[in-house]
Structure 1
Amino acid sequence: MKKIITTTDAPAPIGPYNQAVLSGNTLYTSGQIAIDPNTGELVLDSIQTETKQVMQNLKAVLKAANMTFENVIKTSIFISNMDDFVAINEIYGSYFNDSTAPARETVQVACLPKNVNVEISMIAVK
């Protein structure tokens, strides 16, 4: 059985998908980009503010499923420029405890939705 997770505290989907799906005790989030859910505008001031908005969007989705970053077991980070890795990693890492941080991969891609610089998805377990 799957349960669709939605919240107005994260951007509405821009395609035929949901913000997250809960299957049993496992939550699968869709990739989040730096859209401010209050304005619908992209937050692209810097890679740091962009990454922070992505993480805040993911935090809202996790909260809607009654979870936190402590529940996250796997993340996928897609970036348009590997030169931004250090800055993205610094912001991303501030949301996790180093000793319980999830597994992850970081992949450079040619292009992301709306030409953003970073997109992150997560898997979390209660």
Structure 2
Amino acid sequence: MLRHYNEPTLGIPSFPGSHLVMDDHYIYLSGLTAADLPDGAALLGDIRAETHQIMEYLSRLLAHAECTLDDSVRVDVHLTDLALQADFDAVYARWFSAPFYPTRTCTVSPQLAGGASVEVTLMARRPQQR
């Protein structure tokens, strides 16, 4: 059975979707940018600050499903410029237990919603299903 969840601090999504959808095995999180976050507009343009806040909110969303970022199996990253990847990675890597990182795709998306520099989405496996 699918369950849908919207994080109250993020408000109702501005798109036709949910912040998080889970079934008995997996958790799927919608893409998240700093522009989606309360007071996130102040972070725009600072890739490290944007990344930190996004990862914090992704962690919060996973906690709702009794998971952590270490339960992530796949992450999709969209950057407005690949030159930002090293700064993104410097923050991103700290949120996982090395060397057990999820699979990842990183693409260039020249224009992200709200003027953000990065968008992150992920899929996690629910611990009780391992």
Same-fold call, TM > 0.5?
Answer: yes
- CA gap of 1:103–1:40, structure 2 versus 1, over 3 A, is closer
What is the deviation of 1:43? Answer: 2.3
Q: CA RMSD in A?
A: 1.8
1:110 aligns with 2:110: yes
Question: Structure 1 stretches of 5 or more lacking a match?
Answer: none
Where is the helix percentage greater, Structure 1 or Structure 2?
Answer: 2
SS of match in other structure, 1:32: strand
Write out per-residue CA displacement over residues 91-114 of structure 1, whole angstroms, 9 at most, x where no aligned residue: 011101122110001001121111
Write out per-residue CA displacement over residues 5-61 of structure 1, whole angstroms, 9 at most, x where no aligned residue: 222244542211110100222000000111474446452251110111111111111
Question: Structure 2 stretches of 5 or more lacking a match?
Answer: none
TM-score (normalised: structure 2)? 0.87
- CA gap of 1:109–1:18, structure 2 versus 1, over 3 A, is same
- CA gap of 1:62–1:16, structure 2 versus 1, over 3 A, is same
Distance (whole Å) between structure 1 residues aligned to residue 66 and residue 19 of structure 2:
14
1:58 aligns with 2:46: no
Aligned length: 126
- How high is the sequence identity, in percent, across the aligned residues? 22
